[in-house]
Amino acid sequence: MSIKACTKCKRVTTDERCPVCDVITSTNWSGLLIIVDPDRSDIARELNINLPGEYALRVR
């Protein structure tokens, strides 16, 4: 089982398709960002992240 990231929203998952936006995921990603409270996070606001979870900083 490999960890993958969505090519659209950058959410980290082990699924072949993103559980949020249903786009194919990639194993070629780097950097891990954990968002706990997106409403209070400046980084989440800047990256347009609305849901708490784990996100990749770069996905190819």
Per residue in 7-45, pLDDT (tens digit) is 999 999 999 999 999 999 999 999 999 999 999 999 999
Q: The pTM is what?
A: 0.91
Cβ of 41: how many Cβ atoms within 10 Å? 15
Domains of the chain, CATH where assigned: 4-59 (2.20.28.90)
Query: Would you say 59 and 38 are in contact if contact means Cβ atoms under 8 Å apart?
Result: no
**pLDDT for the residue numbered 39:** 97
pLDDT level of residue 48 (50, 70, 90 thresholds): very high
Confidence category of residue 1, pLDDT binned at 50, 70, 90: confident
Measured CA angle at 24 (ends 20, 25), to 5 deg: 85
Q: What is the pLDDT of residue 40?
A: 97
